[in-house]
Structure 1
Amino acid sequence: MKTIKNTSYRYYVAALMMMMSVTSCQEFLDINDDPNFAAQASNVQLMPAAQGSYVLALSSMIERASATMVQHYINGRFDNWGFNGSSYDNQWQTIYAGALTDFAVIIDQAEANGELHYAGAAKIQKAYIYSVLVDLFGDVPFSEANGSEINPKVDMGSEIYPQIIALIDEGITDLNGESTVALSSGDLIYGGDVADWIRMANTLKLKMYNQMRLVNSSTASTAIDALLSEGNLISSASENFTFRFTTSNAPEGRHPNFQADWAAGSLENNLSSFMISKMTTSSDPRLRYYFYRQNSGSALLGVNGGEGSTPGDDNVRAIHGIYPVGGAFDDGSFLIHNETLGLQGAGIFPMITYTNRLFIEAEAALMLGTSGDPRALLQAAVNSSFAEVAGFAGVAMDATATSTYMTNVLTAYDASTTDEERLAVIINEKYVAMFGNGIESYNDYRRTGYPTGLNLPVVQNGPYPNKFPIPPVEVTANENIEPTTDLTAKVFWDLN
């Protein structure tokens, strides 16, 4: 997100209020056809509502589940692997009945009225949402979803992916066309910047083709090289596909994990012993940006799945820091968490970033032979992560620490004797850099097997989930969906 174009999360609430007012007068409109009242919310109202809906859904329970699967941190709802999806019932409904329904209306209205830039941005975001759904759940309702069909059928993920890419291309065409109405400040992501949406769309395709590299390496390689040759990709942190939360608590607009771990009376998340060990062992300079110690005695100790926290330790144990949830930077002040510290919840949800793009390029260059030097791309990706974290926090990162860390990363890469060992270095570094978006690391882990050595839960309530179960709310409501009984079954691109 471009900071200068940042628009407040309050637009989301305002949009919902406007839609509620439209709905409340609908019955009146049915009787009295008054042309001075609008029967349907406008696209400028629907866009922020749709964006707020899917960001809240993905950045809360769905991100927590994904992060727990790769032990970025530990959330007790998912840490024993035996979850059935009920914890994200609301998020599933918010995505399908909220965001995707809103985007369907936006596209219909925009195409009818020549508002092509709204249509383009809506199609690209719809594509992003479905890419996440396929990556996490595998086969989901797509072709009949958000239409008149009460029980939409389930489509195969392998069939949805090509249609998503086609939808992205449609969106790019719309954004390059003449629009009767410009995207407005109601666009909470890019503030109406069409060029940024096109760069994001191309980078989303880059990510998806790399995700499919094990399915058809030739197709993936050709498509990735074409995107790199065109060059119209996210190329700086200012172009990141990122949602910025605010400090508002009435209405609530703060990062979900700030609400859970800074503003709440009882902390919901625990630090992960695997992540803490990984970062402390390597003297990672991002450690005090990611995590915050509440007092001098609260060593950075994490837990394994199923262990939970010690009763009564909410004001003692270390918690989420300034990046990305908008807490505080650990400067050694050792203050007990409260909602007035640090950025006060004005965190971010990093969906697709420049750092992510560079790691994707490094993997593709190494494993597919696409253009670029994987070692140089790895170095650029790690440096980009340092810059993004420090830039967001507004706290300079120690230059000696970053230089030493980078030297160690490149030494490990140079010492590798096979491409598989080099891939392990790349994905291990990407794993740390993707903190705040466990969805991406969960995808990488299943596709590559890295990082290795994740700690087993103390008590396992099932096998490791290779995909997420469809939530009970959808199973109950849709007669075409059966309960997910085999979580060892893989999504179509996971041939690892």
Structure 2
Amino acid sequence: MKLNKITTAAICSLLLASVGCTDNFEDINSNPNGISLPDFEQDFNHIKGGFAPMFNNIQVLTPEWVYQLQQGLNSDIWSGYMATPTGFEGGINNTTYSLLDNWNGFIWDYGYKNVMFNAFDIANKSKGKYDQFYALSLILKVEGMHRMTDTFGPIIYSKFGSTDATIAYDSQEEVYTQMFAELDTAVAELTKRVDAGEASTFATTDMTGYGGKYESWVRFANTLRLRLAMRIVKIKPALAKTEAEKAIAQKFGVMMVNDDSFKIVSPVYSNPIATLSGSWLDIRMSADMESIMKGYQDPRISAYFDTSKQFPGQYKGVRTGIAISGKSDHQDFSGIGAVVRSKEIYLMNAAEAYFLRAEGALRGWNMGGTAQELYEAGIKVSFDQRGASGAAAYIADNTKTPAAYVDPNFPENNSPAVNNVTVAWDAAATNEVKLQKIITQKWIAGFPEGQEAWSDYRRTGYPKLFPVLKNYSGGAITTEFGVRRVNFVQSEKAGNSGGVATGVAKLNGPDNGGTRTWWDVNAPNF
């Protein structure tokens, strides 16, 4: 990833709309018809302009087809959240484990050109001078780029911005180490400003629900630390405990109520999934979601999905990794519902914080409550977020389990239920069963953010998902374990082949979708 390849396009996005973008950036300051640097720097505009591209591209909001390739046809499906009725590329594609470079390159390219570049640019303009913006950019950088390392493993991180002919990759362990340090810096800086009673200079720039409040951003950073801590629990258990307890102990703590949730509130764009599902009919409810939510009679199902046009009044999902003879076979199954017909795109909600704490408590960490208390609180806050009633009865239910899946059109896709746990907490159950309950409820509550759900599935194996019936990976990806990562992209192999070689050397296997990332340890959960 050579910085000079993306500089022109990225700088153009930072300029005001009235300024034409050319290669002669040095002329702008002296052009009497342009905007002078002092004018541009008023109210920190020279810094603030870099934030919007970061907010808009952690998940790509527009164009929708880019989101489809960045996330919609990979983690949203590999997580078990969604499925496609469309037989892209003759049915030989990501959904059947034939990873397509011309799709997956968008994950890398949009992350670097929009998130990483702008974090780098803001740091250069603000560090040591306007450190509140530097701190905020660090939090967004970690939020955007942890998704990148969780997808690819080794990535360019500490050496981003180098003009060397070869840009070396950091190992995933090195990336996580730097991210924890960056969160330390950001939390300390913003906490200091809150303690001093400083007014926020970020209110008009903030595209979240936080309104620029530094305390809210610290709480998000702490919860992000908790998420990353849990990610490494099987490879670095002592560090995981230390970082998780640090997040809880910080004076502002982690997310507790739904207003604490981290969401992008776009003035223009709705969730792109609404177009993929409602207009293009390329995304449907998954068979896994049908099995689990219908089996539990989960009241949130009506917020998540529309009923089927082919089977009126019913919620009907599509199984992933099946033979698709024609789109019409399943396109009238359930689409994604009201949850995506909004300009509020949730990337982390308060329910996740409770389930993270529940797992931590299960592991003996100091999480400010028992595993059962935190588990049940997570379900309640999720019900509240989605406007669903009946949380108390749902939490107490110790009989309902996920249902078998039936494809009314193609019975070869049918399957018995695979995720056989009830909702009610069972103090006598093993830690493994308790974890399965926690992650299953966390998975439901996190919908439709598939990136995090896919990472949890890889880390824990939960919730149990229906295996694909068609696997075109040529043996690289097992049907039992599914896709573990995405191989390095063609743009990097063409422009930074030496750097890619350093990344491959830091993998624990070949550069394909079956090789596990650093934290994805093939070992028991306890």
TM-score, length-normalised on structure 1? 0.82
CA positional deviation for 1:24: 2.1
CA contact (8 A) 2:318 2:333 kept: no
> 1:30-77 deviations in whole A, cap 9, x for unaligned?
387248734676112221122213331796534321121122111455
1:188 equivalent among 198, 203, 207:
207
**Per the alignment, in what secondary structure is the counterpart of residue 221 of structure 1?**
helix
2:374 is matched with 377
- The amino acid that maps onto 1:385 is S
* Structure 1 equivalent of residue 317 of structure 2: 302
Deviates more, 1:73-82 or 1:349-358: 73-82
Any idea what SS the aligned residue of 1:350 has? strand
Is 2:176 the counterpart of 1:161?
A: yes
- Corresponding residue of 1:89: 105
Offset at residue 286 of structure 1 (A): 0.9
Whichever residue aligns with residue 47 of structure 2, its letter is N
- The verdict on how the C-alpha distance between 1:32 and 1:139 changes in structure 2, with shifts beyond 3 A counting, is closer
For residues 67-466 of structure 1, what are the structure 2 equivalents within 5 Å?
67-75=76-84, 77-111=93-127, 114-149=129-164, 151-177=166-192, 182-189=201-208, 190-232=210-252, 233-245=254-266, 248=268, 253-262=269-278, 264=279, 266-293=280-307, 295=309, 297-298=311-312, 299-304=314-319, 305-308=321-324, 310-312=326-328, 316-323=332-339, 325-326=340-341, 346-371=342-367, 372-390=369-387, 397-399=388-390, 402-408=391-397, 412-414=424-426, 416-461=428-473, 462-463=476-477, 464-466=482-484
Query: Which whole-Å CA distance do the structure 1 matches of 2:116 and 2:272 have between them?
Result: 21
Matching residue's letter, 2:228: M
The residue aligned with 1:63 is 71
Matched residue, 1:340: none
Question: How far apart in 1 are the matches of 2:199 and 2:428?
Answer: 55
Aligned partners of 1:47, 1:257: CA distance in 2, in Å?
23
Matched, 1:469 2:477: no
Aligned CA RMSD, in angstroms, stands at 2.9
Q: Answer yes or no: is the 8 Å Cα contact 1:59–1:349 preserved in 2.
A: no
For 1:280 and 1:238, the matched residues in 2 are separated by 28
Partner of 1:37: 35
Secondary structure of 2:338's match? Answer: coil
**1:238-285 CA deviation, whole Å, 9 max, x = no partner?**
121111345x4xxxx2211112122x3x31113211211111111011
- Partner of 1:444: helix, strand, or coil? helix
Q: CA deviation at 1:186?
A: 1.7
Contact persistence 2:263–2:347 (CA under 8 A)? yes
Q: Percent identity?
A: 21
Give the match's secondary structure for 2:57. helix
1:149 offset after TM fit, Å?
Answer: 3.6
Q: Which amino acid aligns with 2:515?
A: A
- Retained in 2: the 8 A contact 1:55–1:243? no
Q: Render the CA deviation track for 1:427-480: whole Å, top value 9, x for unaligned.
A: 111111111111111111111111124232334435122112222222222222
> Structure 2 unaligned runs (5+)?
1-9, 399-421, 505-509
1:157-185: per-residue Cα shift (whole Å, max 9, x none)? Answer: 01111111111111223324568981141
CA distance in 1, matches of 2:99, 2:511: 11
Q: TM-score, normalised by structure 2?
A: 0.78
The answer as to 2:54 corresponding to 1:54 is no
Distance 2:21 2:97 in 1: 43
* Equivalent-residue separation in structure 1 for 2:217 and 2:155 (angstroms): 26
Aligned amino acid, residue 229 of structure 2: Y
Q: Which amino acid aligns with 1:404?
A: A
Inter-CA distance 228–157: structure 2 relative to 1 (3 Å threshold): same
**1:70 partner letter:** S
Paired letter, 2:187: I
Distance 1:97 1:28 in 2: 19
The alpha carbon displacement at 1:369 in A equals: 3.6
Equivalent-residue separation in structure 2 for 1:192 and 1:176 (angstroms): 13
Q: Measured at CA, do residues 359 and 78 of structure 1 come closer, stay the same or move farther in structure 2, by a change above 3 Å?
A: same
CA gap 1:174/1:26 in 2 versus in 1, 3 angstroms: farther
- Residues 1:30 and 1:467: Cα distance change in structure 2 (over 3 Å): same
Cα distance in 1 for partners of 2:179, 2:362 equals 26
Shift of 1:422: 1.0
Deviation at 1:22, TM superposition (A): 4.1
What is the rounded CA distance, in whole Å, between the counterparts of 1:443 and 1:31 in structure 2? 45
Alpha carbons of structure 1 residues 152 and 457: separation in structure 2 relative to 1, 3 Å: farther
Deviation at 1:130, TM superposition (A): 2.2
**CA pair 54-230 structure 1, distance change in 2 beyond 3 A:** closer
